[in-house]
Structure 1
Amino acid sequence: MNLVDAGKVREGVAEVKAGVTFCLSLPLDVPGGMTLNARRMPPRLYATLRDGKSAGAQGYGWSYASEDPSLTDVVCDEVMLMNTQYSTQWDSLAHMGSRFDADGDGEAEIVFYNGFRGDRDIHPAAEDPHAAAPWARFPDPKAAVLGIENLARHGAQGRGVLVDLEHHLGRQRKAVGYDELMRIMQADGVEVEPGDMVCLHTGFADTLLAMNRQPDVKRLHDTGSGLDGNDPKLLNWIVDVRLACLIADNPAVELVEAPKLAQPGGGMKRPRLPLHEHCLFKNGIHLGELWYLTDLARWLRAAGRSRFLLTAPPLRLPGAVGSPATPIATV
């Protein structure tokens, strides 16, 4: 994102011609439930307390009339509990590291982008075995470096470029490698320049949204394309073209393979999510997932365009490894 400088912001602003905006976020309670990812919890709202009573105890909110009958204010207040990466999200550079022999001693350490260490810089939570709720069992993890607040402070505003995979591939499950991606971009006249924020439209989020918070997991697992993280030509292109970040309307940007059993006798170690490792761990390239891109993609295609102003700051939440986002595209 260091490539998204003042010049790239001006290039993004120059793409605003119609003054039309698109919200690129799903509602934050989508997908719905925890069947799509059993480790991620949807948002839940709780009323705050005032004098030991709920802010909703009198129907719509707390009335100051309990303090002074002449006061007319009625106040609603709440607490939200959710996974930061449940719905439309940014991955920080602390989201994904790797077991890597950084010391050259034959032993793999947990290492994150730019050599930061898991035992020193990305602090795990200390287990609280007495916690009443499962989500409270590991309190206070903190990314002392690489947290999402760095992206928030940057602003995450610049020129977005959309690649419409769905238009060419439909919504079938397909791993898209370098050759196919170049063919699609050439067919649509899409060019990616240094500092561009690249968005991949697959139609996955639109299919998910239509399920109205009742995700059909089997159907979703068969829906939508994603990048082929095992294609070395694609990984090299991501670095060589000097794009700022990769964003998709699917859950992982890359197409995630089913887990494979370890081979007898070991074998070469490898990542489960090779594109995540390549982008977040090796090259410091942020990923955005589960964005809603369908309305924008259709407008851009009808207008014969692929570029727009993208404004997409995450929450300025120190130490977090991810964040919900409400990105806005302006065309």
Structure 2
Amino acid sequence: MADKIPKFSDLPVDKNGPHHNAWGLYGKDDQLGTLNRLTPNIVLSASRNEIQTGVRIGLDWALDAQGDVPFFGRQAFHQELYQKPPRIVNDDVWTFNTQSSSQWDGLRHFGYQKEAVFYNGVTMDEIHGRNGKEKSCVNGIGAWSKQGIVGRGILLDYHAWRVKHGKEYNAFETKGISVEDLKAVAKEQGTEIKFGDVLLVRSGYMDAYSKLSRSEIEQLRTKQPLTFTGVEQSEAMIQFLWEHFSAAGGDHPSFEAWPTQKEYALHEIMLGGWGMPIGELFDLEALAEHCEEVKRWSFFLTSEPCNVPGGVASPPNALAIF
């Protein structure tokens, strides 16, 4: 399968489209993007090789984990719990922003900013049904629920590695995690990177966030722009992601260093260019602890985004299985 994708040097696929795009690689109406890399053979191989003990670890942060103070001004989770008298029965109603806790960013979330287009050239008018365009569900995250995001996951525990090596880190400042560092983490862990893997990076954000007081969180929320550490914006990082992964994410709010330090954002290329899901705010603490205990940082990953036609993002509903 790896030899069936264009070389990085051959991007963009659509020469009339934005930089680094892979538009049309899987057809003009494709809505799966790099999830097409998760072929039955790759999933079967992952299940056979990675499921050994049956230990299961959930990767979703609680939907209400950020309380009433989510970053980026997003709406907080709210639960309305009520009885249905006279029966001894309860129902509840949840309202929340799909990106206020663990999430997959879908293909409607972030497009090329200058060109104002999403994956495969979809426009805002097509998404919202404006200017004579009929409103559609194109690029909706519900398309991903049909087969899920299922395959071999790997954890690159940057946080544990940088603590061991005495590297300074501040989760709430704009700083890039380099490809060189991620490869060093993989080498030290003994983790082989395989084509089609789902990459999860433990940056240390969850550990840092858990130590903040409410007043400190409120103060950080007032910063404009918000600033976070994440993977760097560079040609090397773009190539690393393109050549190996079906999806990529981590425990931090923006995955990439925020705000971008380049004239482009990785979100544009990954979501708008390739259709590569971006995971953010995954709770990787228990996963990291178990990986360290068993000295294995690869696992079978299952994730089924919510089946919402036209949805922008979704809780991942993710499990790591060992």
Bin of the TM-score, shorter chain as denominator length: 0.7 to 0.9
Partner Cα separation in structure 2 for residue 212 and residue 21 of structure 1: 31
Distance (whole Å) between structure 2 residues aligned to residue 217 and residue 10 of structure 1: 46
Structure 1: segments with no counterpart, 5+ residues: 48-55, 65-72, 101-107, 127-141, 260-268
Which deviates further from its counterpart, 183-192 or 147-156? 183-192
Cα shift at 1:41: 0.9
Equivalent residue for 1:172, pick from 161, 170, 173: 170
| Amino acid in the other structure paired with 1:2 | N
3-state SS, counterpart of residue 37 of structure 2: coil
- Give the letter aligned to residue 319 of structure 2: I
Compared CA separation, residues 96 and 31, structure 1 to 2 (3 A): same
- 1:98, CA displacement in angstroms? 1.7
Distance 2:70 2:143 in 1: 31
* 2:102 matched residue in structure 1: 88
Instruction: State the identity %.
Output: 29
CA contact (8 A) 1:24 1:291 kept: yes
The 2-side partners of 1:296 and 1:143 are apart by: 38
Q: 1:197 to 1:84 in 2, by over 3 A?
A: same
Higher Cα radius of gyration: 1
Deviation at 1:145, TM superposition (A): 0.8
2:263 equivalent in structure 1: 270
Q: Once the 2 structures are TM-superposed, how far is the Cα of residue 203 of structure 1 from its aligned partner? A: 2.3
Partner of residue 6, structure 1: 40
Quick one: distance in 2 between partners of 1:219 and 1:295?
26
Q: Give the 3-state SS of the residue equivalent to 1:119 in structure 2.
A: helix
Aligned residue among 237, 240, 262 for 2:243: 240
**Separation of aligned partners in 1, 2:136 and 2:211:** 35
> What amino acid maps onto 1:239 in structure 2?
W
- For residues 105 and 136 of structure 2, the distance between their equivalents in structure 1, rounded to whole angstroms, comes to 13
| CA–CA distance in structure 2, aligned partners of residues 28 and 90 of structure 1 | 13
Give the match for residue 62 of structure 1. Answer: 84
The one-letter amino acid paired with 1:253 is: F
- Post-superposition CA distance 1:126-168 (Å, at most 9, x none): 9xxxxxxxxxxxxxxx762111101111211111011010012
User: How far, CA to CA, are the matches of 2:70 and 2:152 in structure 1?
Assistant: 35
Structure 2 residue runs of 5 or longer lacking an equivalent are 1-34, 164-168
Check if 1:44 corresponds to 2:37.
no
Supply the RMSD in Å over aligned alpha carbons: 2.8
Residues 217 and 232 (structure 1), Cα distance of their counterparts in 2 relative to 1, 3 Å cut: farther
- Map Cα deviations across residues 108-131 of structure 1 (whole Å, 9 max, x no partner): 4x21111112212x11699xxxxx
- In 2: Cα distance, 1:169 partner to 1:217 partner: 27
Alignment check: 8 A CA contact 1:148 1:319 kept = yes
Q: Confirm or deny that 1:74 pairs with 2:72.
A: no
Alignment map for 1:1-331 (pairs within 5 Å)? 1-14=35-48, 15-34=50-69, 36-38=71-73, 40-47=74-81, 56=82, 61-64=83-86, 73-100=87-114, 108=115, 110-120=116-126, 122-123=127-128, 144-170=137-163, 171-173=169-171, 174-209=175-210, 216=217, 225-229=229-233, 231-241=234-244, 243-257=245-259, 270-271=263-264, 274-331=265-322
What is the number of residues matched between the two proteins? 274
For the 8 Å contact 1:314–1:324, the answer to whether it is kept is yes
TM-score (norm: length of structure 1): 0.75
